[in-house]
Homo-oligomer: A and B are copies of this chain.
Amino acid sequence: MTTSPLALPFPALPDVAGVRIGTACAGYKAWTRGDVLLIEMAEGTAVAGVTTRSRCPSPEVELCRARLGGGRARALVVNAGNSNAFTGEAGRAAALAQGEAAARLLGCEAAAVFQASTGVIGVPLPVDKAVAGVTAAQAALGSADWLAATQAIGTTDTFAKAAVSHAMIDGRRVALVGIIKGSGMIAPDMATMLGFIFTDAAVAPALLQAMLEAANARSFSCITVDGDTSTSDTVLAFATGAGGGPVLREAGQPGADAFAAALADLCGQLARLVVRDGEGATTLVEVQVAGAVDDASAHRVAMSIANSPLVKTAIAGGDANWGRVVMAVGKAGEPAERDRLSIRFGHVLVAEAGAVVPGYDEAPVAAHLAGDEVLVSVDLGLGQGQARVWTCDLTHGYISINADYRS
C-alpha cells in the first residue's frame, strides 16, 4: 500500500505516566507485524467512550458500552485484521475469553478491560490466537512505544496516525496523547473509527465522558471518507491521574476548560489524520456551511456535500464544478433557497443569489483546486447555523483498494 500523499510525519510523543504499552503478533492475517495491542493503565484510571451508531455493532463494542458504566479502566486490548463483527455467539465468546485472559494476566476485573477489534467483518476472532496474542503482549509490556502501538492497530491505513496536546491544570502541564486508525468505512455518525486517548491528568469519569462527547461532536462526527459507518467504531479516553494534581470533577473547576480545549484540539487533529489517510485520497477537503437555520441543519448540508460522489470526483479532477455543490445542497433535504445561496472555493466567491458571479474568473479557483487542501464554503443565507466537516476526494485509488479488499 502506497503511503497517502496527504500523510503527516509521526509526531514526537511524550510518555504518559501510568501507561505501559505492549504489542504482539497474533497472526490474524498472513503477516508478521504487531496486530495485538495491550495497554496497561494505573489503578484508578478513569475512562470515557463513544461508539458506533450502527445497528449491527461488534461484541467488542457491546462490551465497551457495558463496561463504560463503571467509569474505571485498567487495560485496553485491540486486535487488528479481524473486526469480530457479525460473528454471533462464537465471536462474543472469543471477545469475552480474550478480555478475561487480560484481566487474569494483569490481576484486575474483566470489567476494567476495554476491547476493540478492526478488520474484515463476519469471521469470528480465533480465540486461541487472541489469547496467545494478549499473553505475549503482556509479557512485552513496557517494551513498546507509541509508534509500535499505533502500527499494531492499523489495517488499510497507509501511515501511522497520532497526535499530542497539552493543558495547564493547577500549574502542572498535563499531556494528552491520541492514536488512531481508519482509512475507509469512515462516516462515524456521532461515534468513530478506533481512536484511543491517554492522559496523565486526573479527571472524574462523568466529566471526561461529557468532554469527550463534546469534542467528538466537532471532530470524529464531522469527517467522512465514503459515508459508510463501521460496525466497530470506538473512541476511548483514559485519564490515569498518575501525573498528580487535583481531580477535575466539574466543568467550572480551574483547569477544566483548558483540559476540554486540549481534548477537543487532540480529537480534531486525530479526525483530520483519518481523512488524510482516506482510501485513495489525494486532497483534504474542508466543507464549511454557514447561514443555515440551525447548526444541525448546517451539519447535514455539509455532510451532503462531503459525501457527494460528484463533488468528490470533481475535486479529484481539479474541476471547479460548483454546479455539483448546488446539486448537493439541493438534495440535502434541509431548508435552502436557491436564490440566497452563495458558494466559495478557497476564498473566491463563485456564485451568489442563484447564479454565477458576474465576470467569474475560474483561474484562481483552479489554482486553489490544484493544491492538496481544498476549502468549499457555502452560505445558505437563512439563519445563524454553521458547521465544518472534512472529507477527501474520490479517486481511482478508492476503487482499486475496495474492489478487491479481501484478497
Contact = CB atoms under 8 A, between A and B. Distances in A.
B329 A55 contact: yes
B55 A327 contact: no
Contacts of A327: 54, 56, 121, 185, 228-231
6 shortest A-B CB distances, which residue pairs? Answer: A121-B323, A88-B355, A317-B403, A54-B330, A56-B330, A229-B331
Contacts of A120: 323
Interface of A: 52-57, 83, 85-91, 120-124, 184-185, 187, 189, 226-231, 307-310, 313-314, 316-319, 321-324, 326-339, 341, 351, 353-356, 394-396, 398-400, 402-407
29 contacts: A54-B327, A54-B331, A55-B331, A55-B334, A56-B326, A56-B329, A86-B323, A86-B338, A86-B354, A88-B339, A121-B327, A187-B331, A226-B309, A228-B308, A228-B328, A231-B326, A309-B394, A309-B402, A313-B399, A313-B402, A313-B403, A314-B402, A318-B404, A319-B407, A321-B405, A321-B406, A394-B399, A395-B399, A396-B400
Nearest to A321: B406
A313 B405 CA distance: 9
Contact of A404 (B55, B319, B324): B319
Contacts of A310: 184-185, 226, 228, 402
Contact of A355 (B91, B317, B331, B404): B91
A403 B399 contact: no
Contacts of A335: 55
